[in-house]
Structure 1
Amino acid sequence: MNEVERRQLKDWLASPVHNRREEVCRLFAHIDNYLHHLRLPLDREQVYRSLYPSRVFDDLHLRQLCHYLLQSTETWLAWRNSDSTPTPSLLAEYRARGLGRLFEHSYKKAIQTLEKSTHRHPEYYWQHYLLARERYAWDSARGRLGNLNLEHQEELLQVALLGFKLRQAYLSLAPQQLSDMPVNIPMLDAVLANAATAKQQAIPMVRIYYLAIQLYRQTEEDAVFEQFSEAFRAHSHIFTTDEARDLLLLGINFGIRRINTEQGAYLRACLLLFQQGLDTELLLEDGRLNTLTYNNIAGIAIRLLELDWASTFLETYRTRLDSRDREAVYALNAARLAYTRRDYAIALQLLRTCNDLDFVHQMSARILQLKIHVDNQEIDLALNHIRNTRTYLKRQPNTGYHKENYRNILLLSEHWCKRPAYDQEKYHNWLTAVKNTHPLTERAWLLGLI
């Protein structure tokens, strides 16, 4: 818990409405002090002695107190995540007691609170439906039969349930991209048919969920991805932060998979999603930017030759990286940028600082150094570097797809360096190999050597 949360929990425990055991407050204060202020480990006997200086240590009693503290904490956590909007259950109480003025006031307040929120997710429509149902119960009980909202209830219920179903469907379909295990989603075709109607497509929530599902079901993926990206950029604010992040990552991951299969048309749309994620801070977790995300954003921007933007991004978000590998990851991406600008000396200087990186980062640095030697026609240096990199690669266990890709890059680079200058047959064989070898993430660079 952060400091604000701990202070709120302390106030919660101090209220007799929530806790009548004063020693539970003292137990929390002791734990808070030791863990967050003194930063010392807890000792059960020392904790008990601080609560009861004159008593003999009683482990069972301490366990009971810890259990009470846990229960109170869980109740507080549940309360923090509860909806502060006047609930339908409160309206039901007023209705049952015939308190018309309070009913009308609370109903109006609940509607206003819902409308003030930017969220238009399934829960929004569900809450509207529950309020409409209470409105109907109140009006019908008083004989206002000409003003019943039955059709309005049906519409709200339809949109809410459609939203719940579509959201669950795209969440169920997404993991299938990582495994071959199918997931049975009952009534999905009927649900999608309803969601495809013009009336439902006019609702941003429905359209975004629908397009998210279509990404995994249709062959016209280019158009669907563009539509999804455009809809999400326009309406991401209608979702909670967590759900908006899930949808953003769904779109980004889909685009990255297509980019990795050499479908460059996805680069621009992916960068726009990344930029939106940065602007809205959806890509940040506790103020930090994931290393892989940092690499992907820099890589895509560089491939699109958005070099000034990439440079600004690298500097701006450098401090948002994990401090343990911040400088090395920054140096690697700055080297990639310098290489693209043909500042080879600066790129090599940056690569020399890329120490203590994991396998993928280390290999990325080595491949970049190889490209510099080949581009500069430093053949001896390139061949020596290939030998050293092969030795390093052999020592790395369980690297699967990555090892095969790097082996292909090293082999084809070596063949290029050793090619006879005027042997057209070997040249065409090499070119054919480059075009047909998979996986090969540096295919475009190798073809550019011609």
Structure 2
Amino acid sequence: MQNSQLILILSSLSKKENRELRKWLVSPIHNQRSDVVQLYEYLTSGNRLEDDKSLEKERIYRKLYPKEAYDDARMRQVIHFLQESTEAYLIYAKGQEDSLLNQINLVKSFRERKLEKLYDKAMKRLEQDFLEFPYRNEDYLDKAYWLEKEKSEQISEKRSQVSNYQEMSDQVEISFITRKLKLACVMLSHQKIYKTTYNLGLLEGVLQYLQVQPALLQQPSIKLYYHFYNLFKFPDEEFHFFEIKQVLSSSEHLFDPLERKDIYLMIINYCISRMNIGFKVFVREAFEFYRKAIESRIIIENGILNHLAFRNIVAIGTTLKEFDWVSQFIKVYQQYLSPEYRENFVKFALARLYFEQGDYDRAQDLLIQFDIDDILINLTAKTMLIRLYYEKDEFTALEFLLDSMRTYINRKKMLAYHKMSFKELISASKRLIKIQYNDKKRIEVLYNQITNSRTLPSHMKEWFLEQLKKLRR
């Protein structure tokens, strides 16, 4: 039974869910078989779900039916009934999370039973709960349609000339357009990363429709994803970014935490893409969005902060010389890193902080200790060492580092377009350390090479140009 569906499901349950499931199983309305309860109690006691011997069918059968010979068909039957009851509990538990849907179903039940007074009272309460519901996400928009549909059924049964078809149509429209725009954003993002192509179907018609129905763009969800789509499609049209900021400023509270997390990550990724091609204003924008995401804890999922987000926050914060904030961030939020990443990423973060503060000795000690399997992070650490050795005039160590980097890069086949960037970085560094003070010709040649580079990261471009300006003096 070790890899059975039942064991996988039971292993995923929390303590609270286990308590509720037991109550579910002993209730005769959900289960009338005592052996199903016995099987559940056997499996969930001690550490049997993790012990292969305890999960042997013959051993379990002897516990359930001590006086009977092993019957595999009967064993499979009791397993099936326990899994069926467990799945029914999970469906029920998930349904209990959706208060609006439950109320819609209750109103529907009252209507079908011709309980008009109860229907009217429940409908009034339901409409009030819709008004007070905190979010206006796609799930809410779908239920708003089902509410209008339920009203329509009641109107139809009364054979009234009044109808709410327009309201139903409006809700369907808002829900569909929101979902279509949101999905288009996801598809564009995925398309860019994985070099695939999607057919966006009716999207072009939706965009044209929004041009002739601008009132729909006042809906926060439609406005947000409309500008996100255009931002991904036309990244140079930065006014879409500021429109997104305006929507979030006025309506962020209308999106639930999971959706807000996705929204923040999309906007941060856009900021980083603009930073990487030299648009400095987006360094501050990325920092502020990261700071809000951290302070509201929306990017800490199940108690874990993604190690790459941790690294990015430190990198952007130190670039802006927000040293006190970054120092406090490392101190407080390192506990949220997964244990397998914590030590190395904290070392890396502190090394960057010390380096940007000019404490080269402490930064060097940490960077030399730094060792992680991630190729790009390793190369980023070595890039910091390039700057550090140069700033400290340790040119022998720098030459050795550059040669070892070149060997390392040539061995790694999966670097793709990053390989060109790091090769140019090594080449430019070797040329820089050979330039003598005030050698105007060489300085000019390297200055032009750096300025025209399309592969060097913007922060390294700035550093090279700064060193060349010092050599001109």
Is TM more than 0.5 here? yes
Equivalences for residues 379-390 of structure 1 within 5 A: 379-390=395-406
Correspondence for 1:30 among 14, 38, 42: 42
User: 1:434 offset after TM fit, Å?
Assistant: 1.7
Q: Using the alignment, how far apart are the partners of 2:326 and 2:72 within structure 1? A: 58
Q: Using the alignment, how far apart are the partners of 1:432 and 1:23 within structure 2? A: 81
Equivalences for residues 163-242 of structure 1 within 5 A: 163-196=178-211, 197-218=213-234, 220-242=236-258
Moved more, 90-99 or 438-447: 90-99
The residue type paired with residue 16 of structure 2 is V
Equivalences for residues 404-423 of structure 1 within 5 A: 404-423=420-439
Aligned to 2:369, the other structure's residue is in SS state: coil
User: 1:310 offset after TM fit, Å?
Assistant: 1.5
Residue by residue over 1:25-72, the C-alpha shift from the partner in whole angstroms, topping out at 9 and shown as x without a partner, is 232333323448x85344323333333333444444333333323322
Q: Which residue of 2 aligns with 1:447?
A: 465
Change (3 A) 1:406 1:89: same
Are 1:245 and 2:256 counterparts? no
Correspondence for 1:306 among 322, 325, 345: 322
Change (3 A) 1:144 1:34: same
Are 1:12 and 2:17 counterparts? no
Q: Which residue of 2 aligns with 1:73?
A: 86
8 Å Cα contact 1:314/1:330 also seen in 2: yes
Q: Considering only aligned residues, what root-mean-square deviation do their CA atoms show, in Å?
A: 2.5
Q: Which residue of 2 aligns with 1:264?
A: 280
Change (3 A) 1:392 1:156: closer
Residue by residue over 1:326-370, the C-alpha shift from the partner in whole angstroms, topping out at 9 and shown as x without a partner, is 021011111111111101112112224323453222222222122
8 Å Cα contact 1:338/1:346 also seen in 2: yes
8 Å Cα contact 1:351/1:369 also seen in 2: yes
Q: Using the alignment, how far apart are the partners of 1:411 and 1:54 within structure 2? A: 80
Are 1:51 and 2:67 counterparts? no
Residue by residue over 1:196-237, the C-alpha shift from the partner in whole angstroms, topping out at 9 and shown as x without a partner, is 544222221111121121112335432112222342354333
Aligned to 1:336, the other structure's residue is in SS state: helix
Q: Percent identity?
A: 25
TM-score normalised by length of structure 1: 0.90
Correspondence for 2:352 among 323, 331, 336: 336
Q: Using the alignment, how far apart are the partners of 2:417 and 2:288 within structure 1? A: 28
Moved more, 377-386 or 416-425: 416-425
Q: Using the alignment, how far apart are the partners of 1:8 and 1:233 within structure 2? A: 41
Q: Which residue of 1 aligns with 2:6?
A: none
Aligned to 1:186, the other structure's residue is in SS state: coil
Change (3 A) 1:126 1:391: closer
Are 1:129 and 2:145 counterparts? yes
Aligned to 1:120, the other structure's residue is in SS state: coil
Q: Using the alignment, how far apart are the partners of 1:394 and 1:76 within structure 2? A: 56
Correspondence for 2:177 among 140, 146, 162: 162
The residue type paired with residue 176 of structure 2 is L
The residue type paired with residue 123 of structure 1 is D
8 Å Cα contact 1:121/1:239 also seen in 2: yes
Change (3 A) 1:432 1:31: farther
TM-score normalised by length of structure 2: 0.86
Q: Using the alignment, how far apart are the partners of 1:320 and 1:364 within structure 2? A: 23
Q: Using the alignment, how far apart are the partners of 2:245 and 2:398 within structure 1? A: 42
User: 1:447 offset after TM fit, Å?
Assistant: 1.6
The residue type paired with residue 49 of structure 1 is R
Correspondence for 1:369 among 363, 373, 385: 385
The residue type paired with residue 51 of structure 2 is L
Q: Using the alignment, how far apart are the partners of 1:150 and 1:335 within structure 2? A: 63
The residue type paired with residue 221 of structure 1 is E
Q: Using the alignment, how far apart are the partners of 1:164 and 1:360 within structure 2? A: 35
Residue by residue over 1:372-407, the C-alpha shift from the partner in whole angstroms, topping out at 9 and shown as x without a partner, is 110122222211222233334344342223333222
The residue type paired with residue 176 of structure 1 is Q
**Which consecutive residues of structure 2, in runs of 5 or more, have no partner in the other structure?**
1-12, 469-473
**Which consecutive residues of structure 1, in runs of 5 or more, have no partner in the other structure?**
none
User: 1:311 offset after TM fit, Å?
Assistant: 1.5
Moved more, 421-430 or 336-345: 421-430
Correspondence for 2:51 among 40, 48, 73: 40
Q: Using the alignment, how far apart are the partners of 1:429 and 1:332 within structure 2? A: 34
Are 1:359 and 2:370 counterparts? no
8 Å Cα contact 1:176/1:182 also seen in 2: yes
Query: How many equivalent pairs are there?
Result: 448
Change (3 A) 1:219 1:373: closer
